[in-house]
Structure 1
Amino acid sequence: MRQRVSFSLTLPLTLLLLLCVYESCGGSVRNTEAIAPDISSSVNPQPFLPLLAPSPLTAFTNYSIPKLSGLCTLNFSAAGNMMSVTATDCWASFAPLLADVVCCPQFDATLATLIGQSSKYSRMLALNVTHAKHCLSDVQKILEGQGANDNIQKICSIEPETLTAASCPVIEVDTFESTVDSSKLLCACRKIDLVNECCDQVCQNAILDAARTIAAIGMPNSKGVNLLPAHSTRIDDCKNIVLRWLASNLDPSSANKVLRGLSNCKVNKVCPLVFPNMTNVVKECANGISNQTACCKAMDSYVSQLQQQSFITNLQALNCAASLGVKLQKANVSDDVYNLCHINLKDFSLQGQCCYICLNK
């Protein structure tokens, strides 16, 4: 029986983090008199009406109307509210911390949906490099105007070439639909189970099949494409084309849900943390622990370096713990240091540190 767990970081968690930081810094409410009604003897008293609370994002979002290039033909309104969702998920201060888990998957989904929705009229599933530069710049400006980080492209490793077909030979909708079993693809991906999809891979397999089919176009031996690994450059580029086609055949909200669900499966497969040098841990913990206090101090210091890198999901933390365990074993650390030093999954991520601060104020 599969355990059904949701791994997405939501806005309430972010607001909780802000509250923790605010209160831990001694935040207070000032000028409370300003919200009281002005009552003087020279005027008739006015009834006291409670003020409507501002949006929780108001204090942290700098809304502005950007000046766009005028050279991008993408229909930004066709993406519905995805632009504002992306701006929220890529908040200026939090984008680097939430990059792999929240910001970049949402940014990728928005770009795919923008191109997909626009393909209904352009009949093209990719942009040329020049057009892509203008569009990517405009998207960045729109998101910045809604409070997003001004460096999302670098944070998420998005280049203008990302919006092109790259090495995939198919960019026209008509060619795609005449080559791929589009009804089968749409049936598999129109609505996905956000938990079971990561295990059953129904939609992912349909996307891979479609990508292999269009990747075979132009190859001297059509069977040769089946020999390419699932994550070869040509296959990956064609997967992007498939995702844009899917986004064009779903409403923006459904497209976002499907694309984010697929990205969650991808995100949770790997550990995004970078493991620093383990010299001190090996020195204190390898070849049998002679001083448990010194070993645990070294482990705590090492894990704290990992913890400060990023927010990660529970599954990512599990993968990171397993990866670190393998590295420790290879370094002759044979004792169960996780148990001895009371290290658990939350210790591998910033959210564990946040919870510790909030609960131990």
Structure 2
Amino acid sequence: MRQRVSSGLNLLSLTLLFAHSRPCCSVSKLWCLFFFLLLLMLNLCAGVYKSHCGLVDNAEAISPDISSSVDPQPYLPLLAPSPLTPFTNNSIRSGLCTLNFPAAGDMMSKTATDCWAFFAPVLANVVCCPQLEATLTTLIGYSSKYSRMLSLNITHAKHCLSDVEKILESQGANKTIQKICSIQPENLTEASFPITDVDAFESIVDPSKLLAACGKVDPVIECCQEVCQTAISDAARQLSEIGFAANLESVHAVHEQSTRIDNCKNIVRRWIASNLDASSSNKVLRGLSNCKVNKVCPLVFPNMTHVVKECASTITSQAACCKAMDSYVSQLQEQSFITNLQALNCAASLGVKLQKANVSQNVYELCHINLKDFSLQVGSQEYGCLLPSLPSDATFDKTSGVSFICDLNDNVAALWPSSISKSSSSCNRTMKIPAVPKATSAQGGLYNNLMLPFFFSSLVVLKLLL
């Protein structure tokens, strides 16, 4: 089941009521929708006038207790700017950054939506930060058309990063986006890259070969064939060797060379962006970032002593082992939304750690652990929300607010490490893991624009009633 997760009211009871009330809707869809929205507004009014109103912190917002015995978390109005507010007000900017923001206006708006205040921390690894990096890369690439430089000096970088933050915040993005994505002014400079002049760059690499490989990237094929990635690596290696004559037998020298190559890759991507229109640049850079994020598990694994105690060697009590596993996995579910391929990697990583700690039995099968159990959960029914391996950008419209598409209850079993082979990789797998969502299966919450100014205490998934 694939759903669109939206910013919305804490209305799980209404959701469940209408999810099982299709006979009513069959009589008159318009009356059903009207009655539903009326209940929404009544619930809204009741929540606003609670005497103990207050905002909840991020942890409560992500995994609230919505049991029938506990009152739902209250909320307060928050007059946030619209993610699509044009940044035509020059007073937002310092005037000290010469980047051409209007040229990448659509990318800026997309970034603001992907990094929207409420979703940014939980979409950071997969959606928000890759889009922010793509935008910054394109902005600097475009600036090279008139500056002829593929980097900014540190002073200019500080001013520009500050302006980017202010512009995105004015459009509804999270105020701490720089911290969330670990972006520093140094990321906009040349770092240890030896060549930043466009003319010098093009005299060393083969521009036509680079554009032929990266001018257009198929986001599915590229992750397996790595045509553009290989071209970028080759160009970066060529550039990194300029003026570098250290003895590569030294561990320090090898590390230094690796760092230089990584810095050179950033410059190569900026050059590629400068030779594409904004839309194409965004597609190429996001396609490359998808290949990167799907190769690793972004979760932090906490101490697993209790699991090892109950599940190591010969398991004496299956109930005790599975209780310990459920408790451990619940800690992973408090971190972030991840893609289905990231979940596959997380299952493998955790399995290897457990095996090294003397847990030899397949506790995933024993305790019915699925891939969706590694991602952030949505609602009181604990639906694991897995993003497709090619995650969709968050979207904004007056009807559904800010939302994104994810898979719910796709019960793909987590694979114990001994079961993982090359056939289950992202390029040649037997498991049915979707790369992109089907448009016909996308479903959205029902909200009108009167509800958009509110920041709510939980993520709610509403079944589409029409």
**For the superposition of Structure 1 and Structure 2, which TM-score range results when normalised by the shorter chain?**
0.7 to 0.9
The one-letter amino acid paired with 1:141 is K
Which residue in the other structure is 1:295 paired with? Answer: 321
Instruction: Give me the whole-angstrom Cα distance separating, in 2, the residues matched to 1:22 and 1:229.
Output: 50
Question: Is 1:102 aligned with 2:114?
Answer: no
Q: Cα offset for 1:283?
A: 1.1
Q: Cα offset for 1:14?
A: 3.5
Q: Cα offset for 1:80?
A: 3.5
Q: How does 1:269-284 map to 2 (within 5 A)?
A: 269-284=295-310
Residue 167 of structure 2: which of 127, 130, 142 is its match?
142
Question: Is 1:13 aligned with 2:1?
Answer: no
Question: Is 1:235 aligned with 2:287?
Answer: no
Which residue in the other structure is 1:203 paired with? Answer: 228
Q: Cα offset for 1:91?
A: 0.7
Unaligned runs of 5+ in 1: 1-8, 33-57
SS of the equivalent of 1:80 reads helix
Which residue in the other structure is 1:319 paired with? Answer: 345
More divergent stretch after superposition (258-267 vs 212-221): 212-221
Is the 2:5–2:461 contact (alpha carbons within 8 Å) kept by the matching residues of 1? no
Residue 328 of structure 1: which of 354, 371, 377 is its match?
354
Q: How does 1:74-93 map to 2 (within 5 A)?
A: 74-93=99-118
Instruction: Give me the whole-angstrom Cα distance separating, in 2, the residues matched to 1:104 and 1:156.
Output: 5
Q: Cα offset for 1:23?
A: 2.5
Instruction: Give me the whole-angstrom Cα distance separating, in 1, the residues matched to 2:256 and 2:279.
Output: 28
Is the 2:248–2:254 contact (alpha carbons within 8 Å) kept by the matching residues of 1? no
Residue 179 of structure 2: which of 130, 134, 154 is its match?
154
CA distance 1:149–1:231, change in 2 (3 Å): farther
* Deviation by residue 1:214-238 (Cα, 9 ceiling, x = unmatched): 11111237999xx957982100111
TM-score of the superposition, structure 2-length normalised?
0.64
Residue 125 of structure 1: which of 150, 155, 178 is its match?
150
Q: Which has the higher helix share?
A: 1
Q: Which has the higher strand share?
A: 2
Question: Is 1:29 aligned with 2:20?
Answer: no
The one-letter amino acid paired with 1:271 is C
Q: Cα offset for 1:78?
A: 1.2
Instruction: Give me the whole-angstrom Cα distance separating, in 2, the residues matched to 1:14 and 1:256.
Output: 23
CA distance 1:229–1:259, change in 2 (3 Å): farther
* Deviation by residue 1:135-166 (Cα, 9 ceiling, x = unmatched): 00000000000000011111111100100000
* Deviation by residue 1:227-274 (Cα, 9 ceiling, x = unmatched): 957982100111000000000000000000000000011101110100
Residue 260 of structure 1: which of 286, 297, 301 is its match?
286
CA distance 1:173–1:223, change in 2 (3 Å): farther
Instruction: Give me the whole-angstrom Cα distance separating, in 2, the residues matched to 1:156 and 1:338.
Output: 32
Which residue in the other structure is 1:51 paired with? Answer: none
User: Identity over aligned residues, as a percent?
Assistant: 68
Is the 2:205–2:238 contact (alpha carbons within 8 Å) kept by the matching residues of 1? yes
Instruction: Give me the whole-angstrom Cα distance separating, in 1, the residues matched to 2:165 and 2:239.
Output: 31
Question: Is 1:163 aligned with 2:188?
Answer: yes
More divergent stretch after superposition (227-236 vs 69-78): 227-236
Is the 1:126–1:241 contact (alpha carbons within 8 Å) kept by the matching residues of 2? yes
The one-letter amino acid paired with 2:191 is A
Is the 1:287–1:334 contact (alpha carbons within 8 Å) kept by the matching residues of 2? yes
Instruction: Give me the whole-angstrom Cα distance separating, in 1, the residues matched to 2:461 and 2:145.
Output: 49
SS of the equivalent of 2:121 reads coil
- The RMSD of aligned alpha carbons is 2.7
Instruction: Give me the whole-angstrom Cα distance separating, in 2, the residues matched to 1:13 and 1:231.
Output: 44
Unaligned runs of 5+ in 2: 15-38, 45-77, 378-382, 386-407, 410-459
Q: How many residues align?
A: 320
Q: Cα offset for 1:60?
A: 5.8
Instruction: Give me the whole-angstrom Cα distance separating, in 2, the residues matched to 1:234 and 1:181.
Output: 19
* Deviation by residue 1:263-290 (Cα, 9 ceiling, x = unmatched): 0111011101000010111111111111
Residue 179 of structure 1: which of 199, 204, 216 is its match?
204
Which residue in the other structure is 1:37 paired with? Answer: none
CA distance 1:14–1:174, change in 2 (3 Å): farther
Q: Cα offset for 1:25?
A: 6.6
TM-score of the superposition, structure 1-length normalised?
0.82
The one-letter amino acid paired with 1:29 is M
